[in-house]
Amino acid sequence: MKGDDGSAAARRAGVLARHLAHEMSPLSFLRPSPCLAYQPPEFHCDNSSFDKSIMRELLDGHHVDLRDSFTDLLMSSDLFTSKRVGDRVFASPNFNLTMAEQRDKTLERILFLRSEGVFKGWLSDSSVDDALKRAALFETMGIFDHSLVIKLGVHIHLWGGSIQYLGTKRHHDKWLDRTEDYQVRGCFAMSELGHGSNVRGIETVTTYDTSTEEFIIDTPCESAQKYWIGGAAQHATHTIVFSQLLIDGKNEGVHAFVCQLRDQYGRVMPGIRIADCGHKIGLNGVDNGRIWFDKVRIPRENLLNAVADVTPGGKYKSAIKDPDQRFGAFMTPLTSGRVTIAVSAIYQSKVGLTTAIRYTLTRRAFSLVPGQPEVLLLDYPSHRHRLLPLLAKTYAMSFAAVDLKYLYLNRTHADSKVIHVLSSGLKAVFSWHNLRTLQECREACGGQGLKTDNRVGQLKAEYDVQLTFEGDNNVLMQQVSKALLADYVSAKRRGKPLKGMGLEHINGSAPVVPEELNRSALRDSKFQLALFQLRERGLLELLTSQVTTLVLKGVSMTDAVISGYQVAEDLGQAFSERSVLESFLKVEQQTTGSMKDILGLLRSLYVLSSADETPVFLRYGYLTPKQSQLIHTEVDSLCGELRPQALNLVDAFGIPQAFLGPIAFDWVEYNSWSNVQ
C-alpha cells in the first residue's frame, strides 16, 4: 500500500511539475479540446487505508443505525425530497420559496414527524440512552434543514426543557405529554430588544396580586419587548417568559413563567401583542416574533417553581439563598442549547467539506501542456492547504463534540461548572470554525458554490446565527477566561494545586519546546499536547498578571478583566483547543494499525495548522520564528500525505448522499439540457 501511495503521489507530482515548468504556446488556445467527461472522485483517490464504518462510529459516537433508518423515513416523504435526476434523489429545503412558504413547509415537516410517532417519549423517557437517541435524530434533521431543527429544538429543548428542569410535578403533568404530541406549541421568550447576552438586565417585569393569586407580566418600555422569539410570529400557542420578579417592591431577579399566547383557534390572547421579525439572511423557515405584554395576568401556578416559589399570600421562598446561584439555576436550559449548537456546527462543516472535496476531485482547471489533461483542483497544493487542515480540525472537533455530549448527559451537580465553561468555549470555537469552513468550501467550489442547490453557500447564511444565539461567541470566550482566572487565583491564594477543567498540567513545571525540531518531534503527540499546554499556561499567567497589576492601581476587578479582553479571548481559544486535542488523543488510544496511522496524520495536521495560523505562539515567544517556519512546512507535507485518502475521510463522515449538493456527484449530467425544467 505504501508503494502504491508513493507511486500515486509521484504521478500527481509529475503532472504538476510539467504544468508548472512548461511555457504555454500562444497557439495552444486555438486548438480544439474534447468535451469534458465527468469521472467519479473514486477514480482519483486511493483505496481506503482504514475501515470507514468504524471511523464513522467514532465520529458519530452513538446510534449510527438509528441515524440511517431515520434518514430513510425522511426520504420516504415528498416533504423532504426536492429533485430527482436519473436514479439519484436530492433532499434539501427549497430556499427559493417565499418566507411564508418556507415556514409552512417547516410546520408540515414537524406534523409529519409527529404523525410517524418520532416525538414519543422525548420528554418522558429520561435515560441517557433515550437522550442519545434524541440527539441522533436531531443531528440527522439538522443535516437536512436548520430551520426544522431550530423550530423543533425551541419547542422541545427550550420550552419543554424549561418545563422539565425549572418546573415541578404540577407543570410536568400538565404540559409534557401535550408538548410531546405537539398539541401545545411552545416557544422561549428570553431575549429582548435591549438585552440579549445580558439576561440579568432584561426589563420585562412581573408582580404578584395577592387578592387574585395571579402574576402580572408587563412590558414597561419598548426596549423590553421580547425579540427573536422562535415560533412566536405564527405558530406558538404558549411561551416561557423570563422576567424580573418584584415581590413587595423587592426585585428577586429573573424568573420563568408559563404564559399562553394564542387560543385554540390561533387568535392572539388579550393583553398580548405580537409582531413578525421579518425576513432574515437565513432560517426563514422559523417564524421569529416580537412580543409585548400589557399587564397580562397568569395563575400563580404558572411560575416554574423548582428554583423558587411564591406562596398564595405573596411570600417569596427559595432553597437557594445566593442570588447568583439562583440566577445560574434559571439558565440551565441554555447549557443544553450550547451543547447542541457545538455538535450541529460540526455536522455542517462535514456537509461543506464532503461537497467541496468530492467536487475538487472531479473538477479540473488549466492544462499548461498541450494534449495533457487539466489538473484536478485538489492536486493543486494551494487547494489542499485550503481544505485539508479544515478537514483535520473537523475530525478533532467531532471527537470533542461527542465527549461534550456524554459529559452533559451523564452530568452530576459537581460537573455544572466544567460543563458551563467547556460548552461555552466549544460552542464559540466550533461555530466560528463552521463559518470559516463553509466560506472556504464555497470559494473552493468556485461559481458552483453560489448556487443554493449545491447547499454550501446557503449553509453560511443558515448557520451564521450560531455565532450570536445562545450567547455571543465573544462574550462566551470572556466567560471561559473569567472562570479559568478565578480558579487560578483561588488556587494560588490557598496554596493548593489546580484541579479540574484539565488545568492540572499547570501544577507542574512549564513544558520546554526543543530548540531543534524535526518531523518526528513535530508529529509526536506528547510534544503537541505540551505545546498547547504551554500556550494555555502562558496566557493564563499573562492575564493574571495584567489583571493583578490593574487592580493594584485601583482599577476594579471587573474593569481589569474587561481591559484584558484580547488575552482573554486567546486564553478561551487555547483552553478549548487543548480540550479538543485531549478528546482526539483519547479516541486515538482506542485504535491500532492503519486506523491509528490515519488518525495520527489528522491529529498532527490539526495541531500544527492551528499553531501555524495562531499569532499567539510567535507573539508571546512560545515558538521561535525558525520553529514556526518548520511547522509551516510540515503542514504542507501533511496535506500532501493525506491527499490520497481525502475522499475516504469525507466518506467516513456518513453524510447521507441525498443531503449533499449536486456538485458532489455528476455535475455535468445534472446541468445537462435534458435536466432543464
Annotated binding site for FAD: 230
User: φ, ψ for residue 183 (rounded to 5)?
Assistant: -70, -40
C-alpha cell, 54: 468504524
CB-facing half-sphere around the CA of 493: CA atoms within 13 A:
8
Question: How far is it, in rounded angstroms, from Cα 125 to Cα 667?
Answer: 45
The rounded distance, in Å, linking the Cα atoms of 326 and 173 is: 24
Catalytic residue at 541?
no
Task: Say how many C-beta atoms besides its own lie within 10 A of residue 105's C-beta.
Answer: 19
- DSSP letters, 97-137, are S-HHHHHHHHHHHHHHHHHTTTTTTTTT--SHHHHHHHHHH
Contacts of 428 (CB under 8 A, 6+ apart): 471, 473, 474, 476, 477, 480, 572, 576
Report how far residue 380's alpha carbon sits from residue 390's, in angstroms, rounded to the nearest whole number: 16
- The answer for 499, left when phi > 0, alpha when psi is -120 to 50, beta otherwise, is beta
CA distances from 604 to 347, 396, 525, 573 (A): 22, 10, 8, 18
Q: Rounded to the nearest 5°, which phi and psi values hold at 265? A: -100, 5
CA–CA gap between residue 571 and residue 538 (Å, rounded): 9
DSSP 268: B
Backbone angles phi, psi at 374, to 5 degrees: -65, 165
Q: Are 580 and 397 in contact (CB under 8 A)?
A: yes
Cβ contact 220:275 at 8 Å: no
Burial of 572-592, coded b for 16+ CB within 10 Å and e otherwise, reads: bbbbbbbbbbbbbbebbeebe
Dihedral of the alpha carbons of 432, 141, 424, 421, in degrees to the nearest 10 = -140
Separation of alpha carbons 289 and 188, rounded Å: 11
Asked whether 483 and 498 are in contact (CB, 8 A), the reply is no
Phi, psi for residue 251 in degrees, rounded to 5: -85, 115
**Whole-angstrom distance, CA of residue 108 vs CA of residue 116:** 12
Q: Which member of 203, 470, 536, 577 is catalytic?
A: 470
Cα gap 420→408, rounded to integer Å: 9
Give 505's DSSP letter. G
For residues 335 and 55, give the distance between their C-alpha atoms in angstroms, rounded to a whole number: 28
Listed in sequence order, the residues at least 6 apart from 256 whose beta carbon sits closer than 8 Å to its beta carbon are 162, 166, 240, 241, 242, 243, 303, 304, 330
Cell numbers 476594579 correspond to: 556
Going by the annotation, the residues of the binding site are 230
Straight-line distance from the first to the last Cα atom of the chain, in angstroms, rounded to the nearest whole number: 46
- The C-alpha atoms of residue 397 and residue 605 are separated, in whole angstroms, by 13
The two most distant CA atoms of the chain are separated, in Å, by: 95
Q: What are phi and psi of 224, to 5 degrees?
A: -90, -5
Dihedral angle of Cα 573, 577, 580, 584, to the nearest 10 degrees: 170
- Do the bridges between strand 186-189 and strand 238-247 make them parallel or antiparallel, or are there none, so unpaired? parallel
Would you say 561 and 485 are in contact if contact means Cβ atoms under 8 Å apart? yes
Contact indicator for 353, 391 with CB cutoff of 8 Å: yes
Catalytic residues: 470
